[in-house]
Structures are given as C-alpha cells and as structure tokens.
Structure 1
Amino acid sequence: MARIEHLNNPNAPKPNSIVVAVTVFVQDEQGRVLLIQRTDNGLWALPGGAQDFGEYISGTALRETREETGVEIEVTGIVGIYSNPNHVVEYSNGEVRQQFSICFRGRYLAGKPTTSDESSSVRWVRPKELDDLPIHPSMRLRIDHGFQERRDPFIG
C-alpha cells in the first residue's frame, strides 16, 4: 500500500481516521540510531506502527521493532507524543490518517538488523549521516528529540 505524507499542506485531503501508533528511538553502544527505509514511500524512519487490539502500547513498540528490524529491545522511556493535526498520511486504500504517535525510547537487547516486508533496508545510523538520508520532517523531529535526551517528553 502506497503512503504519502502531507505536512502543513493546505491542499492535503481531510483526515478520516486517527490510529494509535508508535515509533521507537533505539541506540546501540556506539550512539547510532536504528532506522529503516520504508517500503511504502522509500523514506528513512524509526521503526514503528499501529497498536493491535489486545496489546499494551509498550508491547506495540517491542513488536513493531522486532517485526521491522529483527532487533529485540526493552522500552525505557518516552521521547514524545506527536499529534500535529497539520500532518496527515494518505494511503492508497483511501484512508487519510491524522498523525498520532508516541515515540518511545528503547534499549537494544539483541538481534542483527534484518529487513522485512515493511523495510527495504535496516541499519544503525550515526547522527552526522542523517542529513544524507531522505527523512520526512516529522520523523526527523522525533530523531532529533531522541538524540537530545530531554528530561521531559515532547508533547505536541
């Protein structure tokens, strides 16, 4: 399913859903962040996805990271809550989702970065390499907040 992200676009389609979703900011012992290249839009992003019925939201973070990257983590905190109503995601099936995502901080436990149906590439990325990758501004904000190690989570 194709995906188009609209940010501050007055011509964007109106949202017809809000879905609880997560992203996960995980660093390795060298301070690199775990990123995937998404198969639905080709952009680089933190691993993440929608919460399933019967699942704790922290469990969503664990499951999505494992599914998309092959890496096992533990959740250690919250980077922020991202709910910008001017950020909508348009899917090829007609869904237009208003952003609502909790970005968790995770600690690497085990596993080697491995691709999936949702990730064409998975790798640990150094902060200085971020500017060379195509990353949506809303995702870059979360990554930047993760590296800042703020005392309090971002809420916006």
Structure 2
Amino acid sequence: MARTEYYDDPDAPEPNSLVVAASAVVIDDQGRVLLQRRSDSGLWALPGGGMEMTDSLPGAAVREVKEETGLDVEITGLVGTYTDPKHVIAYSDGEVRRQFNVCFRARLVGGTPALSDESLEVRWVAPADLGPLDMHHTQRLRLRHALEERRAPYLG
C-alpha cells in the first residue's frame, strides 16, 4: 500500500482517522542511528508504527523495531511526543491519518538485521551522514531531538 505524507499543505486530504503510534531512535555503540527505507513511500524513517490493542506504547515501539528491522531493542527513555495537526498521511486504501507518535530512545539488545514487507533497506547511519537521505522533515525533527540529548522530552 502506498503512502503520501503532507505537511502544512492546503491540498492535503482531510484526515479520517487518528492513530496512536510509537517509534524508536536506536543508537548503536558507534553512535550510529538505525533507519529503514520504507516500502510504502521509499523514504528513510525511524522504525515505528501503530499501537495495537495488546500493546503498551513502549511495547509498540519494541514490536515495530523487531517487525521492521529484525532487531531486538530495549526502551531507555523518551525523545518526545509528536502530534502536529499539519502532518497528514494518506494511504492508497483511502485512510487519511493524523498520527499521534510517541518517540522513544532505545538500545540494541540482539537480533539480526532483516528486511520486512515494510522495509526496502535497513541501515545504521552516522549522524554526519543523515543529511542527503530522502526523509520527511518530521523524521528529521525526531532525530534532531534525540541526537541533541535534551534533558526533557519534546512535547508537540
């Protein structure tokens, strides 16, 4: 299913759902960030996705990282909450989503990198190499907040 992200776009379709989602900034012992290139948009992103009825929010982040990258992580903190109503995601099945994303910090505890039907590529990326990657600016915002090592989570 294809996905198009809009931000502050007067031509964006009206949202018809609100989804609680979790994502994770996983940083390895070399300071690199775990990213995936999404199969639905082709854009680079943090692993993450919608919370299921059986999930806690941190549990959703752990599950999504495993599903999308093959890696096991442990949540270590909170980067922030991301609820900007200007950010709209439209899917080819007709869903137009406003997303409430809680972004966590996480550390690698195991697993083997693997692709899923949601990821075209999984890669560890040094912060200095993030610039040229094709990525939605809302993902860059979460990464920037995580890499700044803020004392308090972002609330937005």
TM-score tier, shorter chain, comes to: over 0.9
* 2:8 equivalent to 1:8: yes
Tell whether 2:146 aligns with 1:146.
yes
Give 2:133's aligned amino acid. L
SS at match of 1:52: coil
CA RMSD of aligned residues (A): 0.7
Tell me the alpha carbon deviations over residues 11-63 of structure 1, each in whole angstroms, 9 at most, x when there is no partner.
Answer: 11111110100110000000000000000000000000001112111111111
**Which segment drifts farther, 117-126 or 54-63?**
54-63
> Residue in 1 aligned with 2:134?
134
What is residue 85 of structure 2 aligned with on the other side? 85
Give the alignment of 1:85-104 within 5 angstroms.
85-104=85-104
Amino acid paired to 1:36? Q
Q: Which whole-Å CA distance do the structure 2 matches of 1:79 and 1:69 have between them? A: 20
Provide the residue aligned with 1:37 in structure 2: 37
For 2:44 and 2:71, how far apart are their aligned partners in 1?
Answer: 17
Q: Percent identity?
A: 53
What is the deviation of 1:113? 1.9
Give unmatched runs, 5+ long, in structure 2: none
Residue 89 of structure 2 corresponds to residue 106 of structure 1 = no
Match of residue 27 from structure 1:
27
C-alpha distance in 2, partners of 1:15/1:61? 23
Match of 1:116 in 2: 116
Q: Which amino acid aligns with 1:140?
A: R
2:131 partner amino acid: D
Runs of 4 or more, structure 1, over 6 Å off, are none
Cα deviation, residue 144, structure 1:
0.8
* TM-score normalized by the length of structure 1: 0.98
Q: Which residue of 1 aligns with 2:46?
A: 46
Matching residue of 2:125: 125
SS at match of 1:117: coil
The SS at the match of 2:140 is: helix
Match of 2:18 in 1: 18
Q: TM-score, normalised by structure 2?
A: 0.98
Aligned residue pair count: 156
For the residue of structure 2 that corresponds to 1:132, the secondary structure is: coil
Distance in structure 2 (CA, Å) of the matches to 1:98 and 1:116:
24
Mapped partners of 2:93, 2:78: distance in 1: 31
List runs of 5+ in structure 1 lacking aligned partners.
none
Task: Report the Cα offset of residue 139 of structure 1.
Answer: 0.6
